[in-house]
């Protein structure tokens, strides 16, 4: 809103200093600062309010050291994360940008699903919360909205180099550009595409349509089916992965902040034609505006960590964890980096795999031997290390270090082909 206001004032009245709001780096910095202020200053007030209302999630006795001491700690702290994301985004981002609109929808949508789950747990005294199938319906519903918009919205395009045949036919509008390294010229065109970045591949690109190449000529018209299926899987998996990771103080919050910084940088380079050309990666027009949202997201996570670090004064609940996972998934999809998620979100992936393996192996051994056996002392994986006697703070710190390493590897994949 402020962005549009200052743009209007600059255009019609030329007030001094208003040009600063044209710079993504300036607005993203303001977004981070305001998000930190909202989550740290008003986070304390939210904690006091939730304490007064006795809004504490019941803690199950899993036999973990110090676990029952957390009984009565306020939950639903994800509300402050939502405010820390939405307010700076609405103020400093261009809210007419389709990418920003999708991120706002994602935040509100997944926030509503998570809030409903927490509400049932806290106020209806149902420890199970919202039934799993309804969570999945919410996640799939969001994925369909994102997939449809990405595929059909005319403003969501990628810039591609045009081959000599297309140039000769002159059937489409093209732009003549010059390469920085050898000063040679080439033509580009902004087109609708189902391509995405793919690590370690020669051109660093993967086209979802080619999954159906075996169908023969005309397979491209079915690309939407494959693309939508991938979007549904990614949104559901990452959202649930963040939810499972939110098991000990500060783990999901800190890991998500690291991922948010990485995605913000990737959005900036993907939306900057000079840097994208230098790195030889896909340029996505208008996607640079997402860095303002990424700044708010990182600021909200770091600010919330002020109260969520060990010993936690508040839990984010599903209001926060489901929203964080949904945001990461949709953000990655929009900047065409979703196929990097297994690397970047490796901590989430390992947590999900640990639960999947534990449950599957237990059921298999119970059926085969009549007695269920376990791979881990407890799942998700962070509880396994708690059972082995590691302190929560040590587990969280080491997972953060792994998260930083995975973020660096993610950047490296842009040039390793």
Annotated binding-site residues read: 243, 318
Q: Which two tokens stand for residue 62?
A: 């899993």
CA distance 388 to 378: 10
Contact 295, 31 (CB under 8 A): yes
Residue numbers belonging to the annotated binding site for Mg(2+): 243, 318
CA distance 312 to 77: 11
Burial of 184 (0-12, 13-18, 19+ CB in 10 A): exposed
CA R_g for the chain: 23
State how far the Cα of 408 lies from the Cα of 77, in Å rounded to an integer: 30
* Nearest CA among 296, 258, 248 for reference residue 106: 296
Rounded to the nearest 10 degrees, what angle do helices 132-152 and 223-245 cross at?
A: 140
- Within 8 A by CB and 6+ apart from 85, the residues are 35, 107, 293, 296, 297, 300, 327
Q: Residue 185: in which H helix or E strand, if any? A: strand 185-191
Half-sphere CA count of 117, side-chain side, radius 13 A: 28
In 192-298, at which residue ranges do the beta strands (DSSP E only) sit? 195-197, 205-207
Q: Which residue, 74, 100, 83, is CA-closest to 3? A: 100
Nearest alpha-carbon partner for 194 in 178, 180, 212, 206: 206
């Amino acid at each position: 809103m402020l962005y549009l206001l200052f743009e209007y004032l600059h255009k019609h009245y030329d007030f001094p200093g208003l040009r600063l709001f044209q710079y993504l780096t300036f607005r993203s910095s303001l977004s981070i600062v305001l998000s930190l202020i909202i989550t740290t200053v008003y986070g304390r007030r939210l904690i006091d309010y939730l304490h007064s209302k006795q809004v504490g999630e019941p803690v199950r006795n899993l036999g973990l050291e110090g676990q029952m001491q957390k009984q009565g700690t306020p939950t639903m702290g994800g509300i402050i994360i939502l405010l820390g994301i939405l307010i700076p985004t609405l103020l400093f981002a261009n809210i007419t940008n389709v990418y920003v609109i999708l991120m706002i929808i994602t935040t509100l949508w997944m926030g509503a699903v998570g809030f409903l789950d927490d509400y049932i747990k806290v106020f209806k005294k149902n420890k199970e919360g919202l039934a799993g199938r309804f969570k999945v319906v919410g996640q799939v519903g969001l994925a369909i909205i994102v997939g449809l918009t990405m595929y059909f919205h005319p403003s969501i395009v990628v810039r591609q180099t045009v081959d000599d045949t297309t140039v000769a036919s002159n059937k489409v509008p093209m732009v003549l550009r010059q390469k920085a390294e050898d000063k040679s010229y080439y033509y580009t065109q902004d087109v609708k595409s189902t391509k995405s970045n793919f690590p370690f591949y020669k051109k660093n690109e993967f086209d979802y349509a080619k999954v159906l190449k075996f169908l023969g000529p005309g397979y491209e018209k079915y690309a939407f089916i494959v693309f939508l299926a991938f979007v549904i899987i990614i949104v559901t998996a990452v959202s649930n992965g963040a939810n499972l990771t939110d098991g000990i103080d500060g783990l999901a919050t800190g890991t998500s902040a690291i991922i948010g910084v990485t995605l913000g940088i990737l959005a900036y380079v993907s939306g900057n034609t000079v840097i994208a050309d230098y790195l030889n990666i896909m340029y996505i027009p208008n996607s640079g505006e997402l860095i303002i949202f990424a700044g708010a997201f990182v600021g909200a996570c770091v600010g919330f960590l002020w109260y969520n670090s060990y010993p936690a004064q508040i839990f984010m609940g599903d209001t926060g964890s489901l929203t964080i996972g949904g945001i990461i998934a949709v953000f990655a999809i929009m900047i065409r980096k979703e196929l990097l998620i297994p690397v970047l979100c490796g901590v989430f992936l390992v947590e999900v795999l640990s639960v999947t393996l534990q449950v599957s192996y237990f059921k298999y051994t119970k059926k085969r031997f009549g007695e269920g056996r376990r791979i881990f002392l407890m799942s998700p994986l962070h509880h396994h290390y708690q059972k082995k006697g590691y302190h929560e703070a040590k587990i969280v710190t080491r997972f953060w270090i792994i998260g930083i390493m995975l973020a660096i590897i993610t950047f490296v994949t842009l040039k390793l082909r």
